Amino acid sequence: MSVDVDLEGLTGQVKGPVLRPGDEGYDEERSGFQAGFRHEPSVIVGATCADDVRAAVRFAAGLDLPVAVHSTGHGIVTALRGEGVLISTHRMTGLELDAEARTVRVEAGVRWEQVIKAAAPHGLAPLNGSAPHVGVVGYLLGGGTGLMGREFGYASDLVRSLDVVTPDGTLRHVTAESDPDLFFALRGGGGAFGVVTAVETELVPVARFYGGGLYFEADDPVELLRAYHEWTLTVPEQLTSSIGLMGYPPAPAFPEPLRGKYVAHVRFVFNGSAEDGERLVEPLRALGPRLIDSVREMPYEEAGSVYHDPAFSHAYFGGNVLLRELDPIALQTLIDLAGPGTPVPCIIDIRHLGGALSRPPAHPSAVGGRSAQYVLRLMTGGMAAPPEAARPVHQRVYDALKQWTVGRSLNFVYNDGTPVSESQVRDLFEPETYARLQSLKSTVDPQNLFRHTHNIPLSPTT
């Protein structure tokens, strides 16, 4: 039976749009934050509810078509091209907050900025990341390395329950008690096990914080990196920080003091008093004149200003490695290979981990690399430097840092749409975790419908 014929039945089962290539709205529905590439499916289902998702999954399973899920489009890994079903969830925006229980339940299309706004009047905050416009569900499936991670741990550690449509079309309410294996996998194991339609997670009692960004002209980036590293060894767990290095184009899209300069940007959030925060940040301010100093006490609603991540759609390619330490000598190699003057422009981003991020959660999860103290991200943006040129530059850095590497972070994998190898997936998890995920994949998704993600191969015994 052809896909065209079956679409009539599918259209009658779902409330949202069902689109094919050439239909009005098809291109808009498959577009997102990542502008470098897009899914090119034979069918898109614009889901409005869990029942729409169930119908789409059953349809795909009946025709043995691969399935991909699209919300905000930040973390596309392997593009779905040709015969396949793309489930778009951005219409699923339900949000229910319980201030007394300090929990929030959100549907699959909700972004962190919506949760932040709903929680703030109650003096609560979620464990969101640097970009509030990121979707909640995709972020949690990757573990969630947040602005206050060193104090509160990975965001997925606070997940209470998930509603997921498994490849057989069943909607399952998953908790640590009801289904410990799936609860384990969905918190840090990616989207290879089904479509999460809703999630309930805890909030933390944070209304204000001291933080922001310090921008320095990086005439000597190695010394700035070394100074940042030494500073991180002295700060408490209530302070989570990072440093970014990049050359800013002389374009009006960027603040005037940064245009045309190679800049170091130190970002941090401190959940403590402004007085203590001033004392903690003083060694950084002493490094030299700042191009911009946005550090202050602020309500959590303004958390997006700390990193000031771009909210506009653009092309990018990148990856990461988790490091058990930040070797001061290796920092010179990092700048030599990816710093100013290299053939392919790179954005260098180093985030301080440790603290609660290194401790096991109350319920085991798939998040790996908890022994890491830092995560190094490399990114190349724009169409002028395609992935084919950037990939070998990034890889030379990762190879040079191999002796300090303990894995990779699932949240910070930004591929170029090409298939991901099994060895790349293995690097994301501890060996015993990978084996457990592989076994579960064979049980939950024996057809391997969900293979356009950080895919977990079927167990060899299947």
Distance separating alpha carbons of residues 347 and 359, to the nearest angstrom: 29
Average pLDDT over residues 389-404: 94
User: In what helix (H) or strand (E) does residue 229 lie, and over which residues does it extend?
Assistant: helix 221-232
Output the pLDDT for position 37.
Answer: 79
Please spell the DSSP secondary structure of 369-428, one letter per residue.
-TT-SEEEEEEEESSSS-HHHHHHHHHHHHHHTGGGEEE--GGG-B--BSPPPHHHHHTT
Q: Provide the pLDDT for residue 387.
A: 77
| pLDDT at residue 3 is higher than 80 | no
pLDDT band at residue 421 using 50, 70 and 90 as cut-offs? confident
Pick the closest to residue 131 from 311, 386, 351, 337 (CA basis). Answer: 311
- Distance, CA of 146 to CA of 211 (rounded, Å): 14
pLDDT at 76: 72
pLDDT in the model for residue 454: 63
Q: What pLDDT, in 10s, does the model give residues 304-352?
A: 999 999 888 888 889 999 999 999 999 999 999 999 988 899 999 999 9
240, 147 in Cβ contact below 8 A? yes
User: Poorest-confidence range of 16-30, 188-202, 441-455?
Assistant: 441-455
Counting every residue written for the chain, the total comes to: 462
| Amino acid letter, 86 | L
Cα 287 to Cα 222, 355, 372, distances in angstroms = 13, 25, 27
| Alpha-carbon span 374 to 351, nearest angstrom | 5
Phi and psi at 213, nearest 5°, equal -135, 145
| Burial class of residue 143 in the structure, from the number of CB atoms within 10 Å of its CB (0-12 exposed, 13-18 middle, 19+ buried) | buried
The residues facing 200 across adjacent strands are 105, 161
Count how many Cα atoms sit within 13 Å of the Cα of residue 227 in the half-sphere of its side chain: 18
Confidence at residue 322, expressed as pLDDT on a 0 to 100 scale: 98
CA-wise closest residue to 154 among 436, 431, 412: 412
What does the pLDDT look like over 437-451, one tens digit per residue?
A: 999 999 999 999 998
Q: What pLDDT digit, counting tens, does each position of 266-304 carry?
A: 999 999 999 999 999 999 999 999 999 999 999 999 999
For residue 72, the model assigns a pLDDT of: 80
**Which whole-number Å values give the CA distances from 232 to 227, 267, 354, in the listed order?**
9, 12, 10
Distance (Å, rounded) from C-alpha 164 to C-alpha 102? 22
Share of the chain above pLDDT 70, in %: 95
d(CA 378, CA 108): 28
Give the closest residue to 396 by CA, choosing from 345, 336, 349: 336
2 pLDDT higher than 70: no
Can you name the residues that pair with 173 across neighbouring β-strands? 163
Secondary structure of residue 235 in the 3-state scheme: coil
Give the mean pLDDT of the chain.
93
pLDDT of residue 419: 74
- The one-letter code for the residue type at 56 is A
pLDDT, one tens digit per residue, over 120-178 is 999 999 999 999 999 999 999 999 999 999 999 999 999 999 999 999 999 999 999 99
pLDDT at 420: 77
> Could you tell me whether strands 81-88 and 67-70 are parallel, antiparallel, or unpaired per DSSP bridges?
parallel
Q: Which of 12, 27, 137, 8 is nearest to 75 (CA)?
A: 137
Distance of CA 317 to the CA centre of its chain: 14
Cα 264 from Cα 353, distance rounded (Å)? 19
